[in-house]
Amino acid sequence: MSEKSVRKKEYILEQAQKVFAQKGFKDVTMKDIVTACNVSRGGIYLYFNDTSEIFEAVLDLRAKAEKNLFTEQIENTRCAEEQMRRFLNEQKRELLNPTDSLIIATYEYLFAHSAALNKAEMEDNFMHASGQLLRIIQNGVENGEFSVEPDVAAQNIVLLLEGLRISSTVLTLSEEFLDHQMEYILSQLTRGQST
């Protein structure tokens, strides 16, 4: 694929992400994406067959960007507590801006495709998400900052954050409320540590 084609495909995905964030998954049509991109219908179909394929590509692109950001943040500090704070602040930022989020679209997509979804693949995705946290927590346990079972703590944090994501789709979560939740997570990691 030429560099121009790569840029055009990325542009389509950027615009599509905005449409999915605004309308969810189930209400988005190819016409919506064509309109948002201001390109011909054929220009979209050159790269994608349907909205499901576009949404999957949006999720892949977003996951890569988040992984790169996460890796960059981790490499810039050795303190596990600071790494965790950065991670939690990024989660809080997303929760405070639900209109920029793909939370609703993602759940609509999952429900619409539940019969075809590979459960093992879904479990791998969950383990990957908790794996990023696991690295921070293991680092914190090894250097004495945290006092927890790393696997259990990572899974609990992922589940708590997922609950907050779901709640953010129907409730207005205040910054103060989210700060309390993030501090609670940190307090559980450091519980039993002498200060």
Total domain count, the chain: 1
Tell me the CATH number at 127. Answer: 1.10.357
Count CA atoms within 13 Å of residue 17 on its CB side: 15
Q: Which of 42, 36, 46 is nearest to 15 (CA)?
A: 36
Q: Do residues 42 and 51 lie in contact, with contact meaning Cβ atoms separated by under 8 Å? A: no
- Per the domain annotation, does 165 fall within a domain? yes
Residue 179 lies in a domain: yes
In a domain, 70, yes or no: no
What percentage of the chain has pLDDT greater than the value 90? 50
**Per-residue confidence band for 195, with pLDDT thresholds at 50, 70 and 90:** very low
Residue 140 maps to a domain:
yes
pLDDT in tens, 178-188: 999 999 999 99
Residue 118's domain spans which residues?
77-190
CB-based contacts of 165, cutoff 8 Å, min separation 6: 94, 95, 101, 103
Q: What whole-number percentage of the chain has pLDDT above 70?
A: 85
Reduced to 3 DSSP states, what percent helix, strand and coil does the chain have, rounded to the nearest 5? 75, 0, 25
Q: Is residue 132 part of a domain?
A: yes
Residue 178 lies in a domain: yes
Query: For residue 120, what pLDDT is reported?
Result: 62
The reply to whether 103 falls in a domain is: yes
Residue with tokens 């990325």: 10
